[in-house]
Amino acid sequence: MAALRPGARGAIAAGHPLTAEAGAEILADGGNAFDATIAALWMACVCEPVLASPGGGGFITVQADGRCRVLDFFVTAPRRKRPDYDIEFSEVTVDFGTATQAFHIGAGSTAAPGFVPGLFALHAQLGSLPMRRLVEPAVAAAKAGVAITPLQAYLFTVVAPIYRWTPEAAALFSASGTMPADGETFANPALADALDAIGREGLRIATEGEIAAAMATVSADHGGHLTFDDIAGFAVAMREPLTETLAGRGGGDWRIALNPPPALGGALVTAMLREIAADGADPADPVALARVIEAVDRFWREDPTDPGRLIGTPAAKPSQAAPRGTTHVSVIDADGNAAAATVSNGEGNGRLVPGCGFMLNNMLGEADLNPRGFHGWTPGARLGSMMTPGIATRPDGTMVAFGSGGSNRIRTAILQALLGRCAAGVPLAAAIDAPRLHVESGHLDFEDLFDAGDRERLTDAFVDHRAWPDRNLYFGGVHAVERDARSRLTAAGDPRRGGASRVV
């Protein structure tokens, strides 16, 4: 954790030390929270390539000039479907050690990417430094190479069947015959060139120029739905956040701003907060909390692509749900600007974009939670996501920017961190470090760090359960920053997912 510091320029928390360092460099150079977020996300594409890519998408919740809003640049279903017989769509099995899981990849698993348009939209609205400056740390790191962290080494091991699926991908990610290991240096000069070109030439090269053409070509040549028109026509949406009140200790109640529909995660967190308030459940009681999570999970699964049911208001439905691997960045600067950004590339579709050093997403390869099955998506519609970047504020001026990776566990990771920091009033790092649980389809997973009495009550209440011996990346990775009522800044990265933080 980066400690409370008065007079600091800003604070950042992220899923990799280099991601946090890129944002910190920009803050130190006079950039604002939005500049730092953009630089950090470019860097995430270099040092967290399994989770972040110019070929993916995401969301950024921002607070500026007293207003909170959400930039939605998550992936969109292509505008037309190829015939089933002409689609490249393959199943690969990845090994998590204790379990295996099937993923679907190939050009036919790719939706229209919004990552680059999203960063340029944020820059156009709220950035202060040139984009060329913001991409510099990522370009330098991709050229020189980055040291592989234990988390990234583990992720490379898990997704090895995807990142060796084509000769081109294997040549980049497994040139020595093995995937990048802990401590090894991994360089990606093609990605450095692509990012440098984007920084110099602007958005057009990625949506209408050479990079866009390369993305469209790899799709057209290998059985994908994605076309040049899908890439050029991608539209970033500006949305009003979902807001919910959470009673807090000292300083007044919290206003929680969350990702709205057609995304799913914010609606799920909102529903759980409302259930706790309606039932008078003690959020500090793990059994009561688990029962709330179970109740909302069961209700949601009756119609998993209708977020409106969760919040009691008609809302746009996504084309299909895509609960995939993610990473997160949170930033607050000295002026009180805040950004919470969550992005994903799924696991990657297995095919490198020629000459660019990155994979497009495989968001259309998700079978779970999609009643219509594979290829049942609605052309041109936004996909749904569990990603839930958010900002919590209260009348005394305290502000927390937060979010998490973790696929289906994003909603419960964020819920528990919010309850700890905002409702219970524990320090930010302690709220993130606290043991977590997750209930899905009646099955309880929990970190076996609760006291003996609570553990016994949990296992009695949920006969179908699995105890994890320590904190685990399965339970998400909440990276958060806080500005307190005295304008002091602090940041905390979740150790479960390689969390790193800086205050500058």
Clarify whether 326 is annotated catalytic.
yes
Integer angstrom CA distances of residue 127 from 38, 485, 486: 9, 25, 25
* Cβ burial 385-395 (10 Å sphere, 16+ → b, else e): bbbbbbbbbbe
The one-letter amino acid at 445: D
Count of residues making up the chain: 504
DSSP class of 422: I
Q: Which of 166, 326, 327, 398 is catalytic?
A: 326
For 52-114, the three-class secondary structure string (H helix, E strand, C coil) is CCCECEEEEEEEECCEEEEEECCCECCCCCCCHHHCCCEEEEEECCCCEEEEEECHHHCCECC
Instruction: Say if residues 469 and 497 touch (Cβ distance below 8 Å).
Output: no
CA distances for 139 relative to 15, 43, 189, 191, 324, angstroms: 19, 8, 8, 8, 26
Q: What are phi and psi of 371, to 5 degrees?
A: -55, -30
Could you tell me how far CA 84 lies from the centroid of its own chain?
Answer: 30
Q: Is 465 helix (H, G, I), strand (E, B) or coil?
A: strand
Burial class, 308, CB count within 10 angstroms (exposed 0-12 / middle 13-18 / buried 19+) = middle
As a whole number of angstroms, the distance between CA 83 and CA 65 comes to 49
CB-neighbour burial class of residue 336 (10 A; exposed 0-12, middle 13-18, buried 19+): middle
The Cα 241–Cα 68 span in angstroms is 7
Name the token pair of 124: 């156009």
- Annotated catalytic residues are 326
